[in-house]
Structure 1
Amino acid sequence: MSKETYQWLEKELPSWVQEGIVTDEGAQVLLRRYVGEKTSSRSSGIAFSLLGFALVGLGIISLLAYNWDALGHLERTLFAIVLLVGAQTFSFFVKRYKPNNTALLEGSGIFWFLMMGASLAIIGQTYHLGGTVFDFLSIWLLLSFGIAWLLPSSGAAFLQIFLWTVVWISHRSDLSTLLEMNTDSFLSTWALLGIMLCWLGYYVWQLRTAKNANGTLLLSWGLAISLFLVFLVEILTQTRAMPHLRSMVNYFALFFALYYMAGMLYLSHGEKTWQRPFERIGKFGALFLVLTQVSFRARMWLDGADSMIQAPSQMGWLAISLIVLFVALLVLFLQKVKKVPAEVLVILTPVIFLIYTQLQSHHEVSALASMLFINASLLLGASWMIVCGAKEGRLGLINQGMILIALTVWIHFMDAKFDLVAKGVAFIVTGVLFLVINAFVRRKLRASV
C-alpha cells in the first residue's frame, strides 16, 4: 500500500466507524495491518532508530571496557545498577508517554536488552561469580525474554532469537562432544523450548496484527536464519556417527523446499526480495544444491567420500519429520495454486534428489544415467520458468530460467578440456546471446502492454 493510499484509509476509517461499516477494533486492525507499508521514510526512521540505540549501547559497553581497570568494585556495581535501571526506566517512559512512536519503542527495547547483558557482565566480572560464557548467555536469555512482550519491541525479540539460537546450539551435548569442550547450558531443554514458544507466540501475534510491518519482517528474517543454523547443527549431530553425504544432500533438499513453500504460503511480507526471507533462502538453497550436482565430477566426489561409509539403514526422527512436513505443505500449496507452479523445480527438489541418489547407489545403473537425470531435471525446470514467465509477462522469471540454463552450460564447458582462450570466447558469446534475448523479450513485453 502506498503512502497516499494509507493516508486516505486513515482519514476514511473514522467515518466508516460512525456509519457502522466497521467496528473501532476492526479499524485499528486495518491500520496495523498496513502500517508497515505506510511510508518509506517511516521505515528508514525505524531502521536508524534501531541502529542508533544499538550503537549507543555498544559505545557504553566499549567505554566501560576501556576504563575497567580504573574502576573499583563499588563503582562497577553502581554502573551496573544505573545502566539496567536507566534502560528500564527509559523503556517504560516511552511505553507510557510515546506508545505510538514505533521507532522509540523498538530502539528502547534494544537498548534495554543490551544494557541487561552489560549489567550481568559487570556483576559477574566484578565479583568473580564463575561459570562459562554459555552460563552468562543463558542467564541473559532467561532474564530478557519478556522484553519483547512488555513494550512490545520486535528489535529486542530479533536479538533474543539469535541469543536463544547460540544457547540452544551450545546446549547440544553431541556438539559439546564433537568440539571437545564444555558448551552446555544450565537451562534444561524444556526451559529452552518454553522460551522459544514465548518468542513464537510474539511472532504469531505480530503476523496476525501487523504482518506487513517492518518489525514483523525483521522477525521473519531472524526466524529464517535461526532455523537454518539449528538445522545445520541437527544435521551434524544426527549424522555424526554415520556421515553419509548422499543422505545429507536429501536432508538439505527437503529443508529448502519446505522453506520455499512456507514462504509462499504464509511467511512473505511483500513482493520485493528482502520482504520474502523464507522463499528466497529456500529457492537459492535448492537451486544451488541442484547446480552443484550437474557436473560429471560430482558423482566421483560423492563416490570417493562415501566409498568407505555405509548408508544409514533406517530413517531418523529428523528425516521423518521433514518428509511429513513436506507432504503436508505440498498438498496445501497445490490446493492454493491449482496449477503447475513456475518454480516447480524448487518444490520438487527433494523428489529429484531422492531419485538421483537412488540411481547413484545402484552400481548396475550407469553413472551417465544419474547425471543425465539431474541435468534433464534442471533444464526442464528452467525451461518451464521461461515458458511461465513469457505467459505471465514476468521478465525476472524468464531471466531466472535463462541464468540456470547458462550456468549449466558453463559448468559443463568448464569440465571440458578446452584452453582459456576458448572458454573466454564461449563466455563472451553466451553473454552477448543473453543480452540479446533479454532485450528481445523486453521489447515483446512492452509491445504486449
Structure 2
Amino acid sequence: MGSIQKELSELVANNVITVTTAKDIENYYALKKEPQGNALLTIFGSLGAILVGLGIILIFAHNWDTFSQTTKTLLALLPLFVFQGLTAYCIVKEKSSLWKDASGILLFFAIGSSMALVAQIYNIPGDVSSFLFSWIILGMPLVYILRSNTLAFLQIIFATYYAVEAGYFNPERPWPYLFFIAALLPFYVKQIKTTPESNGVSIFNWLLPLSGIISLGAFLKGGNEWSLSILIYIAFACLLYNIGMLPYFRDRKTRRNGYLCLGLVTIVTLLLTTSFRWFWEEIVYRESPAPVLVGWGVLIALGLGIAYYTKRGKYGINPFQAVTFIFPVIFFVGMADTFIPVILINVLILALGVGCIKQGINKVDFKVLNFGMVMISTLIICRFFDTSGSFVIKGLLFVAVGVGFFATNYILIKKKKNNPVNSATHEN
C-alpha cells in the first residue's frame, strides 16, 4: 500500500490526477487488499459472540433460585467486568476488527443482562422502554470506542425496538429515539467518507431508512392525529426517495441504495392505499393539532430542498420526486370531496407506472420496466375488489397486463441484443 501511495503522490504533484481521484484510487486498493474471508469471519464471529452472551444468561437463569442475594449480585456483574477487561485488552493490543466486534457485542449484552438481573434482585421498578433507554445510552460509547459497524447496527435495532415499545404500546412519544439516531450519524458519515463501497455502509443505507419507517408511526398518537398520518408518511417516504436520488447514492448499485428502494416501495404502497374511496370517507374529516402540521411541513421542506438540489445536477426531478408536492394538493382537495381524489390518485399511479415502463425501455433496465408493470397490475387488482364491473372485462384487463409483461420484456431483450454497449452502460 505504501508504494501505491507514493506513486499517487507523484501523480498528484505532476498534475496527472486530482487529489480526489488519488483518494478514490487509494480507497479502492485498500478495500481490495482486505482478505475476502474477513467479511464472513466478522459475521460469524459476531453471531458467535451473540450466542455466547445469550448462553451465559440462560445458564445463570437455570440455577438462579438456588443462589443467595450476594451471589446473585456478583454473578450479575461478573460478565460485565469480564467483558470490559476483554474489550480493554483488544483496544490496548490493537486487535483486529473481528476481535473488537466480538468483545464489543459481548460487553453490550453483558450491560443489558447485568441491568436486568440487578433490577430483578433488588426489585427495582421500571418498564421495558426505560430499560431499553438505559441500555442504549450505556452501549452508545462502544460504537465510537471500538469503531464497530456491528455495534452500530445493534444500536439502530434496539433504538427501533425502543421506539416501538414506547410509542406503540405506551402513551408516550419516543423522542429519545431521535437522539439515538442523531448520535450515530457522525459514525455513519465517517464510514461513508472512508469506505463508501463497503458492505457495512450498504447495511447502514438499508437499516436507517427502515428504522425510520417503522418508528415514524410511534410519534403519531391518538385518533385526531391519524387524520394527517398519511401526509406525514408520504412526506417521509418522499424524503427517503429524494435522499436516494442524491448523486452519491444514485451512482451506487440498487442493492446498496436502501433510501431509494424503501422510499419508492413506501410511496407506491401508500398511494395504492389511498386509491380506495373508503380511505377518504373514513379519515380525512378529522382535525389535527399544530405539532403534526409542523412536522409535516419540515418533512416537505427537506424533501423539496433535496429534490431542488438534485435538479441542479444532471438528473433533474422525476415523477416520483414530484409526488412530494402533488399528493398534498390531492389530499386537501379530498377535504371537500371524496370522489375527485380517488380519480386523481388512480391517474397518478397509472402515470407513474407508465413512466417507469417508458424509462425502462429507453434505458434498457429490466428492474424499472417490471416495477412499472407491477404497479399497473397491482392497481388493476385493487380496482378488481372495489368495482362492480363485468368479470369478463376484468379478466381481459389481466390478460392485457400479462401480454404487456411478455411484450415489453421481449422488446427490451431484443433492444439489449441489438445494442449491447449502451445496454451495459445502463445496467446497475
Fold similarity call, TM over 0.5: yes
Give the letter aligned to residue 327 of structure 2: F
How much does 1:393 deviate?
A: 1.9
* Secondary structure in 1 matching 2:313: helix
Q: Which runs of 5+ in 2 are unaligned?
A: 421-428
- Cα deviations by residue, 1:117-153 (Å, 9 ceiling, x for unpaired): 1122222222333333333323322322210111111
How much does 1:432 deviate?
A: 4.5
CA distance in 2, matches of 1:197, 1:254: 20
Name the count of aligned residue pairs. Answer: 415
CA distance in 2, matches of 1:211, 1:165: 24
Contact in 1 for aligned 2:112/2:135 (Cα 8 Å): yes
Contact in 1 for aligned 2:232/2:296 (Cα 8 Å): yes
2:256 maps to which of 271, 275, 281: 275
Q: Determine whether 1:67 maps to 2:63.
A: yes
The 5 Å alignment of 1:106-145 reads: 106-145=101-140
Contact in 1 for aligned 2:173/2:218 (Cα 8 Å): no
Label 1:349 to 1:145 Cα distance change in 2 as closer, same or farther (>3 A): same
Q: Which residue of 2 aligns with 1:322?
A: 299
Q: Determine whether 1:381 maps to 2:352.
A: yes
CA distance in 2, matches of 1:67, 1:266: 57
CA distance in 2, matches of 1:323, 1:29: 34
CA distance in 2, matches of 1:261, 1:166: 26
Higher relative contact order (CA 8 A, sep 6+): 1
CA distance in 1, matches of 2:54, 2:98: 18
Q: Determine whether 1:400 maps to 2:404.
A: no
Label 1:32 to 1:150 Cα distance change in 2 as closer, same or farther (>3 A): farther
* Secondary structure in 1 matching 2:120: helix
Q: Which residue of 1 aligns with 2:426?
A: none
- Cα deviations by residue, 1:147-177 (Å, 9 ceiling, x for unpaired): 01111112112222333344456666x9744
Q: Which residue of 2 aligns with 1:146?
A: 141
TM-score, with structure 2 as normaliser: 0.82
CA distance in 2, matches of 1:378, 1:221: 25
Q: Which residue of 1 aligns with 2:336?
A: 362
2:83 maps to which of 66, 83, 87: 87
Contact in 2 for aligned 1:134/1:184 (Cα 8 Å): no
- Cα deviations by residue, 1:260-300 (Å, 9 ceiling, x for unpaired): 11123277497444422221111100011122233xxx223
- Cα deviations by residue, 1:332-385 (Å, 9 ceiling, x for unpaired): 1211234353xx2x212232322222332224xx82x43332222222222222
How much does 1:198 deviate?
A: 3.1
Q: Which residue of 1 aligns with 2:151?
A: 156
Q: Determine whether 1:210 maps to 2:170.
A: no
Q: Which residue of 1 aligns with 2:224?
A: 242
Contact in 2 for aligned 1:210/1:216 (Cα 8 Å): yes
1:351 maps to which of 289, 303, 325: 325
CA distance in 1, matches of 2:250, 2:311: 21
- Cα deviations by residue, 1:187-213 (Å, 9 ceiling, x for unpaired): xx6x87665543222222222222322
Comparing 316-325 and 156-165, the one that deviates more:
156-165
Label 1:142 to 1:433 Cα distance change in 2 as closer, same or farther (>3 A): closer
Give the letter aligned to residue 325 of structure 2: V
Q: Which residue of 2 aligns with 1:7?
A: none
Q: Which residue of 2 aligns with 1:439?
A: 410
Contact in 2 for aligned 1:207/1:216 (Cα 8 Å): yes
2:208 maps to which of 223, 226, 233: 223
The 5 Å alignment of 1:14-33 reads: 14-16=5-7, 19=10, 21=12
Query: How large is the Cα RMSD of the aligned pairs?
Result: 3.6
